[in-house]
Amino acid sequence: MKKLALVLILAMASIGYGQVVLGDFETGLDGWTGGWDGGTLALSGTGATQGSYQALSITSPNAGWAWAAQANPSVVDLNTYTKLTLDVTWVSSEWTTTGGNWVQMNEMYINSDGGSMQIGAAYLDDPANPSYPGSWDPDNWGASHTRTLTWDIAAAGYVQGATTWMQILLSTNCSGDFTQQGAYYIDNVTLLVPEPATMSLLGLGGLALLRRRR
């Protein structure tokens, strides 16, 4: 019994995630577009975490909002890919403020002909700032700050119906008190799903445990 229990514990500890990378920006924009509300996208060496070359910069407009979106028809089953994760970087010197202001990346949107949904901070995991996930200010986070954000698509209750197109949008926002608007740098944008092989291992372990108990 102890050996079987140990197998189950090890299997649970080794749960991994299958993944589809939606943007590593090593060779280009990877299908991402922007420009809504005056925001602009460009490639940058700042904030690169996937590989060692480039990240995507999203420049916030004076209005405070900027968007980045990817239409990705080859990945349409968000009933399978249950999480979206990315690395985001802010650089304090790019933002001019008198203090007490904030910027944030805490909302994503899914648009498709099978259903649309806004997924906000309630479903965002930000270990660096759990009280205000996705939020940053230039006074408290140092000259340059990088963190990993993960949205839980399944927990938000998104159910995707039949679809012939899909668009994933990331929203950035800032207070209106900055005298100079900076950029957000994102990299390693990835959809995650628990690996079937590992889940099968858990299932086999559970069956073995039941048989032993009988």
Q: What is the pLDDT of residues 147-193, one digit of tens each?
A: 999 999 999 999 888 788 888 988 888 776 666 667 789 999 999 98
CATH number for the domain that contains residue 105? 2.60.120.260
* pLDDT confidence of residue 189: 94
The model's pLDDT over 117-140, given as tens digits with 9 standing for 90+, comes to 999 999 999 999 999 999 988 888
Residue 109 lies in a domain: yes
Residue 180 vs residue 33, higher pLDDT? 33
What b-and-e string marks burial along 140-164, b requiring 16 or more CB atoms within 10 Å of the CB?
ebeeebbbebbbbbeebebebeebe
Q: Kindly state the average pLDDT of the residues 81-100.
A: 83
Q: Is residue 16 part of a domain?
A: no
d(CA 96, CA 186): 21
Q: Looking at the 3D structure of the chain, how many domains does it have?
A: 1
Q: Which residue has the tokens 């927990």?
A: 155
**For residue 4, with 0-12 CB atoms within 10 Å meaning exposed, 13-18 middle and 19 or more buried, which class applies?**
middle
What residues make up the domain containing 103?
A: 21-207
Residue 12's pLDDT is 30
Of 55-69, 76-90, 170-184, 192-206, the least confident: 192-206
pLDDT of residue 212: 47
